[in-house]
C-alpha cells in the first residue's frame, strides 16, 4: 500500500480532517494534502510525527517507500537514528574503519566543545558575581 493511501486511511480511521492532521504536525493543510495526493513526500521528522499521531509503527508506515531495504533486522537506538544490520554487514572493512575513525573524531570534538561551553559558562558566572560585588 502506498504512503498516500496509508495516510488517508489512517486519518479516516481517526475521524480526522486533513486540517486536523496538519495542525498536529504544525504544517499547512495544503502541504498535508499533497502528501495524501502523492504530489509530495513528508520529511523523515514528519514521518516520525505521523507515526506518533496515528499511533502506528514507523516501519509499517514507511516500508512501502523503501522496498529494497530489508527492514526485518531494523533496530531503533533512539528517535533520531535507525541502524540496519543487514546493510552494515555489507560494508567493506576499510569503510567501517573510516566510519569508526570519524566517530572517534566527532567524540573528541564534542568533548572539546563541552569543555569550551563549561569554561564560558563559568567565566560568565564569575563575571556576573564580580559585577554584583559578591566576590
Instruction: Clarify whether residues 124 and 77 are in a common domain.
Output: no
Domain-ending residue, one of 88, 104, 125: 88
Instruction: Clarify whether residues 83 and 95 are in a common domain.
Output: no
pLDDT in tens, the chain (135 residues): 788 899 999 999 999 999 999 999 999 999 999 999 989 888 888 888 998 999 988 878 777 665 544 445 555 444 444 444 445 555 677 777 787 888 888 889 999 998 888 888 888 877 877 777 755
Instruction: Clarify whether residues 20 and 63 are in a common domain.
Output: yes
pLDDT of residue 79: 42
Strand partners, 81: 78
Instruction: Clarify whether residues 19 and 78 are in a common domain.
Output: yes
pLDDT of residue 19: 95
pLDDT of residue 135: 55
Domain interval for residue 58: 3-88
Residue 106 half-sphere exposure toward CB, CA atoms < 13 A: 6
Number of compact structural domains in the chain: 2
Query: What is the Cα–Cα distance from 126 to 31, expressed in whole angstroms?
Result: 49
Instruction: Clarify whether residues 13 and 71 are in a common domain.
Output: yes
Write the DSSP symbol of residue 28: -
- Grid cell locating 98: 573510516
Amino acid at each position: 500500500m502506498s504512503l498516500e493511501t496509508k495516510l488517508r486511511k489512517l486519518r479516516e480511521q481517526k475521524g480526522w480532517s486533513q486540517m486536523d492532521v496538519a495542525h498536529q504536525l504544525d504544517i499547512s493543510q495544503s502541504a498535508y494534502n499533497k502528501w495524501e495526493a502523492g504530489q509530495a513526500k513528508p520529511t523523515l521528522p514528519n514521518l516520525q510525527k505521523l507515526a506518533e499521531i496515528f499511533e502506528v509503527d514507523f516501519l509499517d508506515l514507511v516500508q512501502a517507500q523503501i522496498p529494497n531495504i530489508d527492514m526485518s533486522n531494523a533496530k531503533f537506538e533512539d528517535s533520531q537514528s535507525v541502524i540496519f544490520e543487514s546493510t552494515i554487514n555489507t560494508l567493506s572493512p576499510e569503510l567501517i574503519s573510516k566510519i569508526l575513525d570519524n566517530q572517534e573524531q566527532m567524540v573528541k570534538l564534542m568533548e572539546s566543545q563541552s569543555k569550551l561551553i563549561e569554561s564560558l559558562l563559568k567565566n560568565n558566572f564569575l563575571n556576573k558575581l564580580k559585577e554584583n560585588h559578591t566576590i
